[in-house]
């Protein structure tokens, strides 16, 4: 996976033709059960690989909370946020981003707590995977959601050329408004992933595993009743430190993700003599403003 280019103009034409802006969440996300292609049961690996078209791939995992009111974030990404995100990342100097969408629920309450797409670069395929997420709208009164499932999958079921070839970590970014549940039982993993030998893992162990190959961030949505709880914010700060980013509005998500990726990457820019120089991506972005 990962072939094809991101075309903002093609995406705009498709958005107009499909009336993305005018449709409701129920019309945009038509699945009423998990899509079989996004079911992680039996999945061994998802790969982000280089190609002639994308020689410097950068793996980005984006885990979206699909419980309760958080379905509004995927809706915003379809209507507006995704093209803005991809366009700004590419113009910021990261020419070969490969994005994988995940749907995150609650493994203690939901039927489909983990949904996994493929790493993609093209506008059509990114739209395909994003709109095939099942907005289960579940969750429960158990004090959190299963954001650590993104860490589990990132640490154990991905292979990326950005790390294997260049020693550069990808990005694993979760988005939601609840605390993180603290443990993942072996029986739950088996039910989600299929037959195999598993052991129960804590959130801290799963985070450590994901951090070996990914820069792990969480974007906390602060404009919901759950998200306004400062105890939740403090809990995420204790776990992730500076890698927690609080979004005061859910419509800030695309800008926040862009900032995370661009600040972490190094891009090439020619100097006045035509030679290549290396700049932090944030600095390169400033130069283009």
Give residue-wise pLDDT tens across range 171-198: 999 999 999 999 999 999 999 999 999 9
CATH label of the domain that carries residue 217: 3.40.50.410
DSSP 256: H
Q: In the numeric block, which tokens belong to residue 11?
A: 């995406």
Q: What is the pLDDT of residues 62-96, one digit of tens each?
A: 999 999 879 999 999 999 999 999 999 999 999 99
In DSSP terms, which residues pair with 276 in a beta bridge? Answer: 270
Two tokens, residue 131: 């709109």
- Give the largest Cα separation in the chain, rounded: 62
Q: What is the pLDDT of residue 2?
A: 66
Nearest-angstrom CA–CA distance, 162 and 136:
33
Look at the pTM and tell me if it is higher than 0.95.
no
Is residue 1 assigned to a domain? no
Cα–Cα distance measured from residue 173 to residue 70, given in angstroms and rounded to the nearest whole number:
15
* Ranges 30-34, 208-212, 241-245, 265-269: which has the least confidence: 265-269
In a domain, residue 160? The reply is yes
Give me the domain span that covers residue 100. 8-288
The answer to whether 280 touches 263, Cβ cutoff 8 Å, is yes
pLDDT of amino acid 15: 96
Please tell me the total count of domains within the chain: 1
Q: What is the pLDDT of residues 35-68, one digit of tens each?
A: 999 999 999 999 999 999 999 999 999 999 999 8
Q: What are phi and psi of 84, to 5 degrees?
A: -65, -40
Report if residue 117 sits inside a domain. yes
Is the pLDDT higher at 71 or at 276? 71
pLDDT at residue 191 in the model = 98
**93 occurs within a structural domain:** yes
pLDDT above 80: residue 234: yes
Predicted pLDDT of residue 34:
97
pLDDT digits (tens, 9 = 90+) for 138-147: 988 888 999 9
Work out the pLDDT band at 277, boundaries 50, 70, 90: very low
How many other C-beta atoms can be found within 10 angstroms of the C-beta atom of residue 19? 10
Query: Is 1's pLDDT higher than 90?
Result: no
| Over residues 217-246, mean pLDDT | 95
Tell me which H or E stretch contains 263.
helix 253-264
Q: What is the mean pLDDT of the chain?
A: 91
**Those residues with Cβ within 8 angstroms of residue 218's Cβ, 6 or more apart along the chain or in another chain:** 147, 173, 174, 175, 176, 180, 236, 240, 243, 244, 245
């Amino acid at each position: 996976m990962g072939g094809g280019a991101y075309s903002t103009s093609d995406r705009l034409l498709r958005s107009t033709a499909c009336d993305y802006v005018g449709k409701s969440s129920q019309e945009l996300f038509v699945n009423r059960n998990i899509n079989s292609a996004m079911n992680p049961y039996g999945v061994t690996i998802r790969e982000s690989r280089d190609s002639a078209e994308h020689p410097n791939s950068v793996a980005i995992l984006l885990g979206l909370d699909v419980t309760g009111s958080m379905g509004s974030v995927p809706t915003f990404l379809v209507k507006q946020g995704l093209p803005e995100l991809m366009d700004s990342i590419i113009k910021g100097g990261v020419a070969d981003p490969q994005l994988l969408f995940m749907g995150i629920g609650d493994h203690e309450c939901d039927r489909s707590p983990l949904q996994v797409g493929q790493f993609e670069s093209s506008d059509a395929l990114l739209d395909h995977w994003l709109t095939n997420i099942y907005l289960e709208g579940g969750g429960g009164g158990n004090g959190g959601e299963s954001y650590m499932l993104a860490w589990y999958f990132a640490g154990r079921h991905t292979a990326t050329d950005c790390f294997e070839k260049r020693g550069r970590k990808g990005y694993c970014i979760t988005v939601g408004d609840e605390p993180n549940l603290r443990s993942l039982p072996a029986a739950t993993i088996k039910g989600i992933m299929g037959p195999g030998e598993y052991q129960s893992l804590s959130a801290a162990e799963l985070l450590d595993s994901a951090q070996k190959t990914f820069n792990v961030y969480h974007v906390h949505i602060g404009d919901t009743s759950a998200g306004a709880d400062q105890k939740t914010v403090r809990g995420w700060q204790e776990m992730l430190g500076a890698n927690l980013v609080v979004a005061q509005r859910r419509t800030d998500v695309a800008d926040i993700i862009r900032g995370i990726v661009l600040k972490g990457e190094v891009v090439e820019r020619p100097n006045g003599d035509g030679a290549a120089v290396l700049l932090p991506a944030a600095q390169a972005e400033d130069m283009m403003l």
